Amino acid sequence: MLTLLPIITIIPIVIQCIQGLHLGGLNTLWNFLLSALTPSLSNDVVATCLHGLQITFAYAIISWLISISAGLILAFLSSYSINKIIGIPEIFTNIIRGILTLPRATHELIWGLLLLQIFGLAPWIAITAISIPYSSLMARVFAEQIDKIDLSNAIALKQVGSSKLQILISTFLPKLIPIVGIYGSYRLECAIRGATLLGVFGLGGIGTEMQLSILSLKFNEMWTSIWMLFISILILEKILEFLQKPTLYIKNIGIYTLTSIILLSCSFGLSLIWLNGLGVNLFQQINVYLFKLPSLTNLLSALIVLPWAKLLSETILLMILASGIAIGLPPLLLMILPNQFCANIFSVLWIFCRLIPTPLTTMLLLLSINPSISVAALALGIQNMGVLGRLLKQNIDKQDNKLYTAILATGSKPQLAWLYGKNVLTKQ
Amino acid sequence: MTKLLEIRDVTLESNGRKRIDSINISINHGDKIALLGKSGAGKTTLLKIINGSIKPTVGEVIFNGKNITNASNNQRRQIGSLWQDLRLIDELTVGQNVNCGALGRRGIGWAIANLFGIIEYQECLSCLDTVELSSDFINVNIQELSSGQKKRVAIARLIRQESKLIVADEPLSNLDPSLCTSILNMLLKKQSIKGINIPDSCIISLHRPDLINKFNRVIGIKAGQIIIDTENPSISSSIIKNLYS
CATH code, A206: 1.10.3720.10
Which chain B residue has the Cα nearest residue A255? B116
Which pLDDT score is estimated for A134?
96
Is residue A204 in a domain? yes
Three-state secondary-structure class, residue B141 = strand
Asked if residue B234 lies in contact with residue B210, where contact means CB atoms within 8 angstroms, the answer is: no
Q: Which amino acid is at B10?
A: V
**Contact between B115 and A156 using a beta-carbon 8 Å cutoff:** no
Q: What is the mean pLDDT of residues B59-83?
A: 87
Written as tens digits, the pLDDT of chain A (428 aa) is 567 788 899 999 999 999 998 888 888 889 999 999 999 999 999 999 999 999 999 999 999 999 999 999 999 999 999 998 888 899 999 999 999 999 999 999 999 999 988 888 888 999 999 999 999 999 999 999 999 988 889 989 988 889 889 999 999 988 888 888 888 888 999 999 999 999 998 888 999 999 999 989 899 999 999 999 999 999 998 888 888 888 888 778 888 889 989 999 999 999 999 999 998 888 777 777 777 777 888 888 888 888 889 999 999 999 999 999 999 999 999 888 888 899 899 999 999 999 899 999 999 999 889 999 999 999 999 999 999 998 888 888 887 788 888 888 888 888 888 878 776 544 43
Q: How far apart are CA A67 and CA A312, in angstroms?
A: 30
**Contact between B108 and A161 using a beta-carbon 8 Å cutoff:** no
What is the distance in angstroms between the Cα of B5 and the nearest Cα belonging to chain A?
A: 16
Which chain A residue has the Cα nearest residue B100? A157
**Contact between A165 and B112 using a beta-carbon 8 Å cutoff:** no
State the residue range of the domain holding A194. 41-216+245-277
Is residue A192 in a domain? yes
Which chain B residue has the Cα nearest residue A251? B141
Mutation target vs A (from B50, B64, B69, B92; most A CBs, 10 A cutoff): B92
> Number of CB pairs < 8 Å for A and B?
100
Q: Is the pLDDT of residue B211 over 60?
A: yes
Which pLDDT score is estimated for A2?
66
Mutation target vs B (from A166, A261, A262; most B CBs, 10 A cutoff): A166
Q: Which of B83, B104, B143 sits opposite A161 (nearest CB)?
A: B104
**Contact between B85 and A160 using a beta-carbon 8 Å cutoff:** no
Three-state secondary-structure class, residue A40 = coil
Asked if residue B203 lies in contact with residue B167, where contact means CB atoms within 8 angstroms, the answer is: yes
Is residue A251 in a domain? yes
Q: A-side interface with B, Cβ within 8 Å?
A: 152-153, 155-163, 165-166, 169-171, 173-175, 177-178, 249-255, 257-258
**Contact between A166 and B111 using a beta-carbon 8 Å cutoff:** yes
**Contact between A161 and B114 using a beta-carbon 8 Å cutoff:** no
- Banded model confidence at residue B136, pLDDT cuts 50, 70, 90: very high
> Which residue from B14, B2, B97 is spatially nearest to B48, judged by alpha carbons?
B14
Q: Which residues in chain A have Cβ-Cβ distances shorter than 8 Å to B79? A: 159
> Which residue from A298, A90, A75, A320 is spatially nearest to A184, judged by alpha carbons?
A75
What is the distance in angstroms between the Cα of B16 and the nearest Cα belonging to chain A?
A: 25
Strands B165-168 and B79-82: parallel
What is the distance in angstroms between the Cα of B241 and the nearest Cα belonging to chain A?
A: 34
**Contact between A169 and B111 using a beta-carbon 8 Å cutoff:** yes
Q: What is the mean pLDDT of residues B129-135?
A: 88
Is residue A116 in a domain? yes
Q: Where are the alpha helices (DSSP H) in B51-104?
A: 73-76, 94-99
Q: Is the pLDDT of residue B190 over 70?
A: no
**Contact between A170 and B52 using a beta-carbon 8 Å cutoff:** no
E strands within chain B? 3-14, 17-28, 32-36, 58-63, 66-67, 79-82, 165-168, 201-206, 217-222, 225-230
> Which residue from A284, A94, A109 is spatially nearest to A202, judged by alpha carbons?
A109
**Contact between A156 and B87 using a beta-carbon 8 Å cutoff:** yes
Q: Which residues in chain A have Cβ-Cβ distances shorter than 8 Å to B81? A: 156, 159
Chain B 109-128, residues with CB within 8 Å of chain A CB atoms: 111-117
Which pLDDT score is estimated for B96?
93
What is the distance in angstroms between the Cα of A258 and the nearest Cα belonging to chain B?
A: 9
Sheet strand arrangement including B217-222? B79-82, B165-168, B201-206, B32-36, B217-222, B225-230
- Tell me phi and psi for residue A79, to 5 degrees: -95, 130
**Contact between A159 and B52 using a beta-carbon 8 Å cutoff:** yes
Domain count, chain A: 1
Q: How far is CA B230 from the centre of its chain?
A: 20
Is residue A138 in a domain? yes
Q: How far apart are CA B228 and CA B217, in angstroms?
A: 10
**Contact between A251 and B89 using a beta-carbon 8 Å cutoff:** no
Q: How far is CA A199 from the centre of its chain?
A: 16
Q: Is the pLDDT of residue B194 over 80?
A: no
**Contact between A255 and B76 using a beta-carbon 8 Å cutoff:** no
A262: exposed, middle or buried (Cβ count in 10 Å: 0-12, 13-18, 19+): exposed
Which chain A residue has the Cα nearest residue B52? A159
Q: What is the mean pLDDT of residues B5-27?
A: 91
Is residue A129 in a domain? yes
Q: Where are the alpha helices (DSSP H) in A106-148?
A: 108-119, 123-148
**Contact between A178 and B53 using a beta-carbon 8 Å cutoff:** no
Q: Which residues in chain B have Cβ-Cβ distances shorter than 8 Å to A178? A: 91
Q: Is B190 on the interface with A (CB under 8 A)?
A: no
Is residue A24 in a domain? no
Strands B201-206 and B165-168: parallel
Q: Which of A156, A166, A253 sits opposite B91 (nearest CB)?
A: A253
Higher confidence at residue A288 or residue B8?
B8
A176: exposed, middle or buried (Cβ count in 10 Å: 0-12, 13-18, 19+): buried
Q: Which residues in chain A have Cβ-Cβ distances shorter than 8 Å to B143? A: 250
Q: Which of A153, A159, A165 sits opposite B53 (nearest CB)?
A: A159
Task: Kindly compute the dihedral angle of the four CA atoms of residues A227, A229, A234, A236, in this order, to the nearest 10 degrees.
Answer: 160
Is residue A155 in a domain? yes
Interface predicted TM-score (ipTM) over 0.90: no
Which chain A residue has the Cα nearest residue B94? A251
Q: How far apart are CA B227 and CA B234, in angstroms?
A: 16
Q: Which of B73, B89, B139 sits opposite A153 (nearest CB)?
A: B89
Q: Which residues in chain B have Cβ-Cβ distances shorter than 8 Å to A179? A: none
Task: Look at phi and psi of residue B77 and say left if phi exceeds 0, alpha if psi is from -120 to 50, else beta.
Answer: alpha
Q: What is the mean pLDDT of residues B74-100?
A: 91
Q: How far apart are CA B63 and CA A55, in angstroms?
A: 65
- Banded model confidence at residue B149, pLDDT cuts 50, 70, 90: very high
